[in-house]
Amino acid sequence: MDELGLAYDVISPDIDEKAIREADPEKLVLAIAHAKADAVSAQVKEPSIVIASDQVVVWNGQIREKPVSKEQAREFIKSYGKQPATIINGMVVTNTKTGKRAEGLCAMHIWYNPISDADAASLAEYDGVMDCAGALRSENPAMMQFMSKTDGSFDIARGLPKKLLGKLLQEIK
């Protein structure tokens, strides 16, 4: 948001993401983003634009959310050197004044060079890894050194795809 030059407040949606389940990763991220948008919209007193999003990593057909342990984070990270990771982001934008809401999806793939057990253990200790879908803290410079190829805008991995946000903001005008 800072990069876009937009004023904003961060409001925690305080929802139980694990209570929302979908087998399809695209349906899952949109369901969670809608729940976040509903929770935040209920807290907002003045007319506002509420932006809510969620993301998961899909690897080898498996949906990966935030790791539940450091061991799982290490396993996730090591596996990315074997097959590419797909990051799927779902976003919901709501105009609380008009009630208009728009949703969208975007994805990117990231390929990594092989990651050793020692490197995976070290990367799992990076600040914030436990709060990232699939333990994929892509902006970690150490993780970036293993990256071999991407196909998509890197802001998708960072959690706020600017192109999608722009499109959704236009839809709720």
> pTM (2 decimals)?
0.90
Q: Known catalytic residue: 38?
A: no
Look at residue 158 in the predicted model and tell me its pLDDT.
Answer: 84
- Alpha helices (H) in the chain, listed in sequence order: 25-43, 70-79, 117-124, 141-144, 154-158, 162-171
Catalytic residue chosen out of the listed positions 54, 119, 151, 155: 54
The partner residues of 30 in beta bridges, in order of sequence, read: none
For 58-80, write each residue's pLDDT tens digit. 999 999 989 999 999 999 999 99
Q: Which of 40, 35, 37, 53 is nearest to 12 (CA)?
A: 40
Residue 44 neighbours by CB under 8 Å, 6+ apart: 11, 50, 96
Look at residue 165 in the predicted model and tell me its pLDDT.
Answer: 95
Query: What domains are there in the chain, each with its CATH number?
Result: 22-171 (3.90.950.10)
For the chain, 173 residues long, give each residue's pLDDT as a single digit of tens.
Answer: 777 777 888 999 999 998 999 999 999 999 999 999 999 999 999 999 999 999 999 999 999 989 999 999 999 999 999 999 999 999 999 999 999 999 999 999 999 999 999 999 999 998 889 999 999 987 788 899 999 999 988 889 888 899 999 999 999 98
The partner residues of 54 in beta bridges, in order of sequence, read: 90
